[in-house]
Every structure is written in structure tokens, then in C-alpha cells.
Amino acid sequence: MRFLENAPRFLFFTGKGGVGKTSIACATGIRLAEAGRRVLLVSTDPASNVGQVFGISIGNKITTVDAVPRLFALEIDPETAAQAYRDRIVGPVRGKLPEGVVKGIEEQLSGACTTEIAAFDEFTALLTDTELTSAYDHIVFDTAPTGHTIRLLQLPVAWSGFLEAGKGDASCLGPLAGLEKQRAQYSSAVEALADGQRTRLVLVARAQSSTLREAARTHAELASIGLTQQFLIVNGLLPKGEAALDPLARAIYDREQAALSAMPDALRGLPRDDLPLKPFNLVGLDALRQLLVEGAPISNPASGEPLELRAPSLSDLVNDIATDGHGLIMLMGKGGVGKTTLAAAVAVELARRGLPVHLTTSDPAAHLTETLHGSMAHLTVSRIDPHAETERYRKEVLRTKGVHLDAQGRALLEEDLRSPCTEEIAVFQAFSRIIREAGEKFVVMDTAPTGHTLLLLDATGAYHREVARMLDAKGAHYTTPMMQLQDPKRTKVLIVTLAETTPVLEAARLQADLRRAGIEPWAWVINNSVAATRPRSPLLRKRAQNELSEVERVATIHARRYAAVPLLEEEPVGVERLLKLAAPLREPA
């Protein structure tokens, strides 16, 4: 494995949820420890299952992994760290400021930026505590900070004054208000991250266009701030031998090879390792030891065992949606779960039934809209350009909020406007112009904002409060987009996930976030399910069996209603293939 050659003291694994970075980090820790090194494995992933992987309880303390001599583990709970961080900032003003102001501050501190910064606050101590680090040959981190967070930490120390002066509706600067006292520690941590002799960043991706694009963006973002010592792992590649056993396996293999052939140029020059897809869950030492070994055997192919997946289909959900005749349908989920495709599938199925539908997306990959444009009666399609909308929003904020700022204050505001929240707000404002159509037809919306962004909009008066203030004074009747999203008679939110541990955990957090914003998800959709097909490949059959427990968790714990969508042999592009996604599921094999 190239990423393990001459491994430095610090190794960071980063990548989108569900690509396998936790498993690879754990397997790396085992490999190094069994080679005679003392290793500390640290997780800062909100969906961390390091303890589950090893079958022990870890938590926020350094714990000996008894089954692996010289291996120690620590789980930094980012949610607990974020709550302590919020309490530290909000505590002094609680009872002194009006309750509405305090709630606004709490909402500014409720998003992903706060969680990431609070986690960084915790693990920078590990990077800078020489007494601690000297006790280990390697410290392996599951999840690295983003370039955005590091850039924020590199900015001048002007956060508190900037915020107190009310110069910005901060999405990320608010969380930074509590960091000033540890400025020297962060400077040392960033220095350690940028030192290739001490630190190696490993980008983890799957052989899918979306995750490879994300890895390329991460690579460029980190390289631009000096973190250039990077490696790439492409995880979960279907072995070529499986492709001859099953049409679905052949289709997956061909699709993955095509994605690798079209890999972004930025990744081609990186040292790269390919890891084959495993048929087993990566839990327990035996499984983890096999992860970094090519050609691990497939035990218990279970070719004759039935796959007992009995789940509603997407068609069942569309039946219920169609009875209303019109409304807003929002598909939400983490990147890479297929919400753009499912939004198109819902739209074409409604249009097939003769119902008027407007499908709108902000996905930069516009192939679906190009395929659908003008190709189906009752369906109109629009694509919002997130880059253009974000640039328009940034210019407006800088024109209004930034006009009287000095150079330092303007630099802070400009960096804050690079936050992921900025794009969500900008795109949502563009979506808002379309939402009003839902009173007369179906509007199917892809790439919707998170609950945190919606609450931030509400708390800062960016949209809902502003409209309410103006129209309340006139005694006018009105409905803002926020009110429409909270009305289950007008809006149905579908959360899209995969039948894998990390995506399900992330979807559950998204649901909690939406509920905090007063939005109750209507259904969950489990996409790309192998268990919803009839695979003959031994490896795919084992993968299908592993999905069943996650489907059961969604059905019994998380979702009020749900559906499963099978993984198709062909890419679901074009009306005919999209309609297949809404077809009733086959009977169990």
C-alpha cells in the first residue's frame, strides 16, 4: 500500500460519508501496530463507529485495544464537543440579552461549521501536545478538517469585534468567536498539518463520478493552503472476476472503470491505492485485517439463501403523493446518495400519470435535465446554476454589509461567504421563486437546503422574518417559503439514503435537523439497493444480505414510511430508465 510507505507521525483520512474512511483508518491502525509501532487512532467523525468496529466501548478517553498490542483509540464526540463549545460562548450572555437574541446566537452555533470547529478545537491539542504525541509513533485521524475551516483559522484575530459590531450575519464566524484564546495552539496545529514530514492526508473515494469530483475539490482546497502531501485511495472496487458471474456485477464493474477513466486530472498525479469491495461487514479484527489485503476470500457465498427484502417501492410513495394533485416535493440527503436521480424519477412518474410537474435542480451535473428537456408531456425542467446564484448573493452581501468595513473586516466577511451555508442560502432564494408554483402543480425540488440553513435564514431575518415584518404591519395575509416547508399539506420531504451504516446515521441526523426547523420528513427512500435486485454474484449476494439490517433500522426506527429502490444495471438516465426506478419491487429470490 503506497499510502503506508514511510508513514509519517500523523495520518489523516478524509472523504464523503459512506466511502469507508473509518474502516480504512482502523485497518491502518491495526497494520501499523502489528508492525511493531505504537499507534493512537482518533476519530472526530460525527457518525463514528470505531468502537463498534472493534467491538469495544471507547468514548472520549484514550482506550487500549486489548486485542491489538500497541494500539490505542480515542473517539472525540463532535456533538458533545460542540455543545460544550456553545455553552462556553452562550453561557455568559444568557439572562443578560433578550431571549430572541440568545436563540439567534444559538442557531448560528448549531450547524456543521460549529461541530467541525469544536472537533478541531479538541484534536488540535493532539497535534500540539508534544508530551502526548511523543508516546506514539503514529496518530491516525479518521476525518480531517476542511480547507475552509483551516483558512478561517489562518485569518487575522478580529472575530469578536467583527461580530459584536454586527457587521455580518455570520454562518461560520459565529462559531469562531470562542477560539481567540487558543490562537497560538491553532497556529501550531496548522503548521503541523502543512508539514509533509509530519503529516499525510489520504483522500478516500469510491469509483463514482460524484465522490471523485468531491475528492478533487478537497485536494485542490487543501493544496491551496499548503497541505500538499496527499494520497488517494479508491475504495470498494468490484473485482473483475465477479463481473463474469452476473449481469448486474458486469454493469457495476464497467461503470466503475468508466468513472476511473474519467477521473479528474487533479487526482491523476496523486499516489493511489485501489481497494477491492469486500463481501462482509467491516466489523471485527478479522474483517479489518483483510481490508488492506487484495484477493481476500469470499466465505459462505450463500448462493442458495433467499433474500427476504420486502419493502414498498418508490411507486407506492408516488401513489400517495399523486392523490393531492399538486404540492412541493423536496428530496434531501447527503451528496452521493442519488437524490438528483430520484427527484427526476418522482417527476417523470407523476408526469406519466398526466399530472403537471416542474422539476428543478441545482445539481451542476445537468445531464438529467438535458435528457428530460422537452421529452415528456406534462413535465417542465429548470436548472439553477448554484455558482451564479452564489456569486450574485455574495456581491449583494458585500455591497450592503461590506460597504463600510475596513480591509480586515472585509476579508473576514469574504471568507464567511465561502461557507457551504452561503451556497445553500443563495440557491434557496432561487428555489423560492419557483415554490409558489406548487399551489397549482407538482414542484419536485432537488438539492434542498439543510434544516440548519433554513433556521439560520429564519433567525437572521434573511427571508422569512423580513417578509413577516413588512406584511404584518400591513395586516396582509401571506405565506413565506419557510411557512410552506413547515406545512405537511403543502410540502413532502423525502430523505434519500443508502442501505449502509454511515449514510443511514447521516440521514437520521438530517431528520433531527429538519425537525428542529419545524419540518417533519414525509418518507425515506433507500436508493441503489442490491437487496432489491436478484444478484447471482456471490459477493453481491453477501452485500445484499448485509443491507437487510440497515433497511430494518430505517423501517422500524427512523422512518414513518419508506421505500427501497433497486440498483439498476444501466445508469438511470432518460425517461425510460427513470421510470424503472419507480417500478414495483420483484418478489424475493
- How far apart (Å, rounded) are the C-alpha atoms in residues 311 and 387? 38
Q: Any bridge partners for residue 3, and if so which?
A: none
Exposure string for 377-407, b = 16+ CB within 10 A, e = fewer: ebbbbbbbebeebbeebbeebeeebbeebee
β pairing state of 523-529 and 379-383: unpaired
Active site residues: 18, 20-23, 45, 502
Q: How far is CA 119 from CA 69, 92, 198, 479, in A?
A: 27, 22, 21, 38
The answer to whether the beta carbons of residues 351 and 319 sit under 8 Å apart is no
- How far apart (Å, rounded) are the C-alpha atoms in residues 104 and 480? 19
* Helix (H) or strand (E) run with residue 43 in it: strand 39-43
Q: What count of other Cβ atoms lies within 10 Å of the Cβ of residue 579?
A: 17
DSSP string, 326-376: SEEEEEE--TTS-HHHHHHHHHHHHHHTT--EEEEE--S-THHHHHHTTSS
Q: Given CA atoms 253, 259, 261, 263 in this order, what sign does their dihedral have?
A: negative
* Helix (H) or strand (E) run with residue 563 in it: strand 562-566
- How far apart (Å, rounded) are the C-alpha atoms in residues 226 and 214? 19
Residues 6+ apart with CB under 8 A from 577: 568, 570, 571
Q: Within the chain, what is the greatest distance between any pair of CA atoms?
A: 75
Where do runs of H (alpha helix) occur along 417-489?
420-435, 451-460, 464-474, 481-486
How far does Cα 202 stand from its chain's mean position? 18
Residues 6+ apart with CB under 8 A from 383: 360, 361, 362, 363, 366, 369
β pairing state of 71-75 and 199-206: unpaired
Smallest CA-to-CA distance from 351 within 336, 373, 366 is with 373
Q: What is the dihedral of CA 516, 517, 522, 525, to 10 degrees?
A: -80
- How far apart (Å, rounded) are the C-alpha atoms in residues 237 and 521? 33
Question: Helix or strand or coil: residue 312?
Answer: coil
How far does Cα 92 stand from its chain's mean position? 33
C-alpha cell at 506: 447521516
